[in-house]
Structure formats: structure tokens, C-alpha cells
Structure 1
Amino acid sequence: MKKIFLLLFLLLPILGCENGNNLTFEPIELHGKNCAECPKINIDIPRALDELAVSTSINRALEEEIISLLSFDEEKSINTMQEAMASFTKSYNDLRLKFPDETVGWEAEILGKVIYEDNTLLTIELNSYTFTGGAHGYSSSTLLNFDKVKGSELENWELFEDYEGFQKFAETQFRIQEDVPQDENINATGFMFEKDTFHLAENIGYTKNGVQLIYNQYEVASYADGPIVLNLPYSEINQYLKRKVEL
């Protein structure tokens, strides 16, 4: 019996290292009312469970993003996802009462997942689709980065040791990927960068294979062009990053 306990004691450090310093998450699913005259609302996101500052930052950031996506009442203070869902539903019902013969069903689908985590940094991708009438709905992806040590959400510029160097490298790779000649205006082939000047995407995040830039629809191109995703491998960009990734 003593040998068994000794063996278990020796195995504990090994078993405990399988997940390293990864945070613990549970899935949270929220759904709107299931009725013929109700908008379709489905939310599936991770909730951080560890009693750490970064967990609070993650959960708050995700809630704020969802509130922003679903809230239509600018005069009312909305503080929770449930209140945001109620706001989305109320806005739909108000419109349906005004235009009963013209209003089509509204939809909101939001899916979040952890796409990268190491000892100091974590990235969550939040994909959403909303339809509130019109010719088509709108899809978008949001990348949220968190400093696990400081317990805070990171701004894009905080990811880089050499922001300007990274931007120049990203522009070169963007031009190659999108067939924009290196010596011509960045908008020469139809892009819509402001002031004819390349800029990094609003959404930048770490992935398993490299840093990803997501230009959502309308950000630098038309809706018909869809989102533009640029993936840059760590082997080529580590020199620009504040947090290097081991290759």
C-alpha cells in the first residue's frame, strides 16, 4: 500500500503539468425564447472559472462584446448578456408592431472559443452573425488578447516590441497575398484603406501557427469581398513581438 501511495505522489507533478498553466473554462450557452414570433438568439462562449484577475477580465470583456452586439436601446443602461438579449428581442418586437407585414425574423448567433494560450498570454476568438432585416446579415470576428500575468486585456499595440516594423512586414505580406503590386497605391486594385495608407486590422491575435489579422467586411473592402484574413508565422515575425513564441 505504501508503494502505491508513493507512486501516486510521484505521478502528481506529471499529471498536474499536462495542462501547464492553462486556465479552466466551462461552456456557457444562452438561448432566446423558442417561439414563432421571437428572434433567434444563440450564444455559446467560454467562461473562465479560476479565481484570478485575468478570469475576471476575460468574462467581463466577453460580456461587453455581446452587449455591444445585441443592444439597440441607447437610452437604457444594459449591464448583462441577459439584458442585452431582452433588448434585442424588444427592438425586434417594436419593429414588428410598427411594420407587421414587412418585418422578417431577426437572428443573432455568437460563438466564442480559446484559440491560443501559453504561460503569459491567451487569445479568444468571438465569431458572430446578426440579421436585423435588409438584404443580408452581417458576420464578424473579434480577437481578444489577455495578459495572464497582469490580469488585463491587451490593446493591439501592446502585442509588439516593434510595431512599425511589424506593420511594414504585414503590408508586404498583404500585398503578396492580395496581388497588390509593391510599388503601387495600396488601393490600386480596389481596396478601401483610408487616406490610401495601409494599416493593421482592428482584430489581431495569437494562434497556434502565428499571428492572425482579420479585416472584417467593410473594414478595407466591400461586403461582397468578405473578410480578409492574413496569417503570419512566428518564424517570420517573432522579432517584432513583445511575447516571443518558441518554435
Structure 2
Amino acid sequence: MRMTLLLLLATALLAGCDDPDAPAKPADKPATTTKSDAAQAGVAPETLVRIVHTLNKTDEQCDADGCPKVDLQWLTFENQPELNEAITQHLAAMLIQDEGNATHDGTIEGLADAFLQDASGMAMASEQGWELSATVKKQGRRGDLVTLSMETYEYTGGAHGLPSVQYFHWDLAKQQSVKLDDLLVPGQQSAFWEKASEQHTAWLDEENLDQTFRDSWPFDKTDNVFFNDKGVVLQYNVYHIAPYAMGQPTLTIPYAELEGIVRGQYLPQQ
């Protein structure tokens, strides 16, 4: 099966960690895969040079209005090979969650091909507008900690598609991924979840949700979190604590309530 393929690698060099949405500029050469001196010394780089990758595919044999398509965009960073590998593996894991019958090698490109191969085997796929999309952006940075937002969307017919968003944290000095427990003061997990449960109750009250809803959609823990200007945000995907129609709810625990619970280096500096 012939496919049209547009694979643009190394399309942006942007030095400036506080401007994640700046427009891309063409790169003269691909990013090097060796560690920077700062990374080798266990020191986080002051700036990150971003490289934007774009992968667009569709089935050339399809000439209908709703041809299946793949539209993926993700980031890697110059001189950050461990981080880059972790990014691509995490994104591939998100794309593979609802894989079909076609075989693949587990790579982003292989999963895109498999999605289109599955679509080609479905008689109605060209009329249903099958779609697989993903966007990876730099959400923010706090000292050594860089956070990426990873959003995917898959539609394979039916009433609606399936969106998903995950937040990925990386310690630039230690060159390793960071989980929620790593962000918390040891022994303060129960205190954190108590605060989260309180925010969930407040959200239920704000939405005027009755007891039937509360019994059907109880509070649940998630390690999908990020920092914003107000506090720590717990991000839930569809069907986790609410039905699809309510989207992807968030609960925000204000920083004032997290003193002694979240590690000090991740809290706003006074």
C-alpha cells in the first residue's frame, strides 16, 4: 500500500526555556545524540534547544472526503539523548494503548503505519474519518524539572473519539523521569491525597452534582499532575472521575496548602 509521507525532523531550534510555543525555525542539522557537558557533570542546562518533529500520513489510495490520517507532532531537545529517548518511548506507549490488529515495531512511525493499515482493512474507515493525532509541548520548567504535556486523540468511528493527555516530568540534572511520589516530601502522600479529595468534593459542589453521580463517579488517585501559577493540578482523562460528556476534569490544590507536602524546590520561591 502506497502512503504519502511527510516526515520533517529537526525543524526547530529554539533556545529559551520560557517560550515553549514560539514558532519553529528550520534547523541546519539534526540534534547531536551525545550528552552535553552540563548533563555529564550532573548540572541542568540553563536553556533547552527544542527540535520539533512532524509526521503526517494518509492512504494515497483513498480519495474520499474522510480519508484516514495521522498527524503527529512532538519535541526532542539538543544534547539530551536520555530525555529524547524517554519522550519517544512515552509517546509511543500512549499511541499503542488502543492498537488494532496490524503488526508494528513499537516506534512512532511504525504505529502510524499500523493505524493506517488497520484503517485500510475497514470498509467504512474512508467514510468515518479515522484519525490519529498527537501533540507534545513543553508545559513548563521549575529549576531542574522540565514538564511536557502529551496529548493524543484517536477516532475509529462511532459517536466520538478518545482524547488523552499525560504530563511527563524529567530531572535534567539527574537525567531521569520524575513521578508524583518524587515530588512529595517523604511520608506526606496521605496528606497530599487528603488535600486532593477535598478539592474533588469542592468540584462536585461547584458542578451541583447529586449523590447518584457521586456514587457512580467516586474520587480516585492519579499520578497525572503538573504545576501552574496557582498550585498542583491533577489532570483526569475521560471516564476516570466523570462521564465522557464532562471532558477531562482538573483539580487544583493551591500552593498555600502544600507547604511541607510538596518538596520545597518545586514550590514558588518567596
TM-score where L is the length of structure 1: 0.76
Read off the aligned partner of 1:178 and give its amino acid letter. Answer: L
Q: Say which of 173, 176, 201 aligns to 2:222.
A: 201
Q: Say which of 101, 106, 116 aligns to 1:73.
A: 101
Distance 1:188 1:137, change over 3 A: same
Matched ranges for 1:19-168 at <5 A: 21-33=46-58, 35=60, 36=63, 38-68=67-97, 71-73=99-101, 76-96=103-123, 104-161=128-185, 162-168=188-194
Q: Indicate conservation of the 8 Å contact 2:142/2:266, yes or no.
A: no
Identity of aligned residues (%): 22
Q: Indicate conservation of the 8 Å contact 1:125/1:141, yes or no.
A: yes
Structure 1, gaps ≥5 residues long? 1-15, 181-185
Larger deviation, residues 78-87 vs 143-152: 143-152
Larger deviation, residues 149-158 vs 212-221: 149-158
Structure 2, gaps ≥5 residues long? 1-14, 19-44
Aligned residue number for residue 211 of structure 2? 188
Read off the aligned partner of 1:29 and give its amino acid letter. Answer: T
**1:244 maps onto 2:269 in alignment:** no
**1:174 maps onto 2:200 in alignment:** yes
Aligned to 1:32, what secondary structure does the other structure show?
strand
- CA deviation vs aligned residue, 1:58-77 (integer Å, no higher than 9, x gap): 343234333446x3237x35
Point out 4+ residue stretches in structure 1 off by more than 6 angstroms: 16-20
Q: Indicate conservation of the 8 Å contact 1:27/1:46, yes or no.
A: yes
Alignment root-mean-square deviation, CA: 3.1
1:103: how far off?
A: 5.3
- CA deviation vs aligned residue, 1:145-180 (integer Å, no higher than 9, x gap): 112222122233222111111110111122112208
- CA deviation vs aligned residue, 1:67-94 (integer Å, no higher than 9, x gap): 446x3237x3522111100000001111
- CA deviation vs aligned residue, 1:168-220 (integer Å, no higher than 9, x gap): 0111122112208xxxxx983514677x5x33234212334422111111011
Larger deviation, residues 225-234 vs 135-144: 225-234
1:246: how far off?
A: 2.7
Aligned to 2:146, what secondary structure does the other structure show?
strand
In the comparison of the two structures, how many residue pairs are matched? 221
Aligned to 1:143, what secondary structure does the other structure show?
strand
Aligned to 1:113, what secondary structure does the other structure show?
strand
